[in-house]
Structure 1
Amino acid sequence: MREESFASPRLDGKAAFSDKRNISTLLTDLRLLFKGPVLIANALPVLTGFWLAIYFTGGSLSGYLDLFLLTIIGSTLVMAGALVINNWYDVDIDTIMDRTKKRPTVTGHFSLKAVLMLGIVLTVLGFAMLMFTTWEAVIYAFIGWFTYCILYTMWSKRRYTLNTVIGSISGAVTPLIGWAAVDTSYHVVPIMLALIIFVFQMPHTFAIAMKKYEEYKAAGVAMLPVVYGFTMTKRQMAIYIACLLPLPFYLGSLGVTFVVLATLLNVAWLAVSIYGFFTKDDMKWAHVMFLCSVNYITILFVMAIVVTLPVFN
């Protein structure tokens, strides 16, 4: 009997399945390494800042298309680089925490050396692209990168509960990057947007820290709920959300619709935070607060774009 020169269909099927699984695993690893949802959440304010700068300077997106791509891609690469470096540095505590045990730095799918090099390369490429925009945008991006990688990840995260405040600076610069790529950010709109993101990140992060209290405690991360307990954390969350209440009124140039809707979002979120003092299920409440925070910032920044579209003006 002659031997067949072609592979068995069954073996081909297994190989194809293995290839698909390997690709799927790689994509999952990259999503975890880049912290996909966090990366997207930080790209939105850059987009909003860029769009609003065009709107207030009387330009058009078509006239800024090249600059838009350089700004969005460049800033995203810088942020991705920072997030990858964070994964590289935090591998020891990521091994302890359930929420981070699937990261490729923990599973060993990527070597730590490769992860560090990837973080550096992404950062350099991102800054190289941003240098074709404006120096002001580059400076804001550097402030965000340096704050997140050095001041937050390597210095304060494991030592001080103020790590959340320090880390929030890196997120706050995102609308400033987008705006500064088009025009100087010395304008009330980008400044207020940056302040909103800065304040928002405190209750947002505290909600996560409450949800993952046991994990942060086991890893020895100095999050507010771990060091000072849930009652203090709830107070801080309510105070920070209350600080958001006056901010939409500085954005009157975006229109009455924006101010009213933003205020309603603030009041609703504050009401949920106050309910936390009366709830008997802290974990369930913390999860609701987390969902409120994610939807709050997404709706706010998408709304800032929508109300300034030509169809509404």
Structure 2
Amino acid sequence: MVLRHLIELQRLFKRFVLIANFLPVFVGFILAIAYYNVSFYTVRQDFLLVTVGSILLIAGALALNNWLEADVDKLMERTKKRPTVTGTFSLRTVLLIGIIFSAIGQGLLFLINLEVALYGFTGWFMYVVIYTMMTKRRFTWNTHIGSISGAVTPLMGWAVIDSAIAPIPISLFLIMFLWQMPHTYAIAIRKFDDYNRAGLKMLPVVKGFQTTICRTVMYMLALFFVPLLIDEISMPLFIIMTIINLAWLMIGLAGFRMQDTVKWATILFVSSLIYLMLTFLLYVIFI
């Protein structure tokens, strides 16, 4: 019984999504202590607070997302095993988990500083209220809103050490925002039938595959300009990032000529994960 509930909790918190949203927080923090030459020992308590606080806040937001979307989750293959659909946890229990986790997580972030707490609340509010409640079922640009909530995560980590209103963390914000568009479009194409059945206004469902491919390429092109925001960017980093952007753009452009769009979307999805991991690694190495 305990094992079953642990498995259900992982589904409730979408464990891979939770990890993927915390990772940029960690990267932002590591980059900041390296950039400002701060001893980890002196900020170890703040690191613990931002780790536990951000994880709880993200988990709370994901639980509330499940609570709000229980009616459409039962219509989709990819979500039909969530505890809000199977009934393992009552909707009231999920709502309480979402509220309590969100409140505790936000409170822990406030203990660090106001800027960290503000980024955390912005991400939570954009995801739970603007994305889930207000736009996902009504507008194709819901993806942009969801991308903002994910893009503030590196700012949270950086702001633990110093203000994130600086070129490096802002460049990470832009990379995360622009990257999430092709990444999410790839998922929407692969799960087209699910989204169509549930009536969610994802771009491929409303505008079709060709428009989605065009938008994907547009955001990939925009990524080329992000490194230019970093005043002190090293030439090796600029060259390698340009090569990586070019390689990913080639995958995006392949969508115009591949007959099997779903296969292309699968390649795009996998390559998006590789792209982001390489980008984070490059930042850690060169900045």
- TM (norm. structure 1) is 0.89
SS of 1:43's equivalent in the other structure is helix
List runs of 5+ in structure 1 lacking aligned partners: 1-21, 309-313
Which residue number in structure 1 is paired with residue 47 of structure 2? 68
SS of 1:280's equivalent in the other structure is coil
Which residue number in structure 2 is paired with residue 145 of structure 1? 124
For residues 46 and 64 of structure 1, what CA distance do their matches in structure 2 show? 15
The partner residue of 2:102 within 104, 116, 123 is 123
- CA drift of 1:159 comes to 0.2
Within 5 Å, which residues of 2 pair with 1:47-86? 47-86=26-65
Alignment size in residue pairs: 287
- CA drift of 1:51 comes to 1.4
Alpha carbon RMSD of aligned pairs, Å? 1.3
The partner residue of 2:216 within 237, 243, 250 is 237
8 Å CA contact retained: 2:227, 2:233: no
8 Å CA contact retained: 1:44, 1:301: no
The partner residue of 2:257 within 278, 295, 300 is 278
- CA drift of 1:303 comes to 3.0
For residues 44 and 29 of structure 1, what CA distance do their matches in structure 2 show? 22
The partner residue of 2:80 within 85, 101, 122 is 101
For residues 177 and 225 of structure 2, what CA distance do their matches in structure 1 show? 14
For residues 254 and 119 of structure 1, what CA distance do their matches in structure 2 show? 40
- CA drift of 1:222 comes to 0.2
Q: 1:293 to 1:252 in 2, by over 3 A?
A: farther
Which residue number in structure 2 is paired with residue 9 of structure 1? none
For residues 37 and 234 of structure 2, what CA distance do their matches in structure 1 show? 16
The partner residue of 1:88 within 67, 75, 79 is 67
For residues 183 and 141 of structure 1, what CA distance do their matches in structure 2 show? 15
Report % sequence identity: 45
8 Å CA contact retained: 1:84, 1:118: yes
Within 5 Å, which residues of 2 pair with 1:148-297? 148-251=127-230, 253=232, 255-297=234-276
SS of 2:81's equivalent in the other structure is coil
Which residue number in structure 2 is paired with residue 25 of structure 1? 4
For residues 229 and 162 of structure 1, what CA distance do their matches in structure 2 show? 14
For residues 127 and 185 of structure 1, what CA distance do their matches in structure 2 show? 18
2:52 maps to 1:46: no
For residues 231 and 238 of structure 2, what CA distance do their matches in structure 1 show? 6
List runs of 5+ in structure 2 lacking aligned partners: none
* Amino acid paired to 2:76: M
